[in-house]
Amino acid sequence: MSNSTLVHPDIVKVLLSEEALLARIRELGAQITRDYAGRKLLVVGVLKGSLIVMADLLRAIGPGVDVHVDFVAVSSYAGAASTGTVRILLDLRESPEGRDVLIVEDIVDTGLTLTALTETLRAHKPASIEVCTLLDKTDCRQTPFSPKYTGFKIPNEFVVGFGLDYEERYRQLPYIGILRVS
110 binding ligand IMP? (CB under 6 A): yes
108 binding ligand IMP? (CB under 6 A): yes
Q: Residues 129, 117: contact at Cβ < 8 Å?
A: no
Active site residues per annotation: 109
136 binding ligand IMP? (CB under 6 A): no
Choose which of 11, 103, 112, 131 interacts with ligand IMP (CB under 6 A). 112
- # chain residues binding ligand IMP, by CB under 6 A: 14
CA 176 vs CA 11, 16, 63, 133: distances in Å = 9, 5, 29, 14
151 binding ligand IMP? (CB under 6 A): no
Cβ proximity to ligand IMP, 14 vs 159, nearer residue: 159
150 binding ligand IMP? (CB under 6 A): no
103 binding ligand IMP? (CB under 6 A): no
Total count of residues recorded for the chain: 182
CA 124 vs CA 78, 97, 130: distances in Å = 25, 5, 14
- In whole angstroms, the minimum distance from the beta carbon of 59 to ligand IMP comes to 22
- In whole angstroms, the minimum distance from the beta carbon of 108 to ligand IMP comes to 5
Cβ proximity to ligand IMP, 100 vs 109, nearer residue: 109
Residues 6+ apart with CB under 8 A from 43: 54, 57, 58, 61, 67, 68, 69, 70, 102, 104
Residues 6+ apart with CB under 8 A from 175: 5, 7, 14, 15, 16, 17, 18, 21, 161, 162
- In whole angstroms, the minimum distance from the beta carbon of 39 to ligand IMP comes to 27
Binding interface with ligand IMP (CB under 6 A):
49, 105-113, 158-160, 164
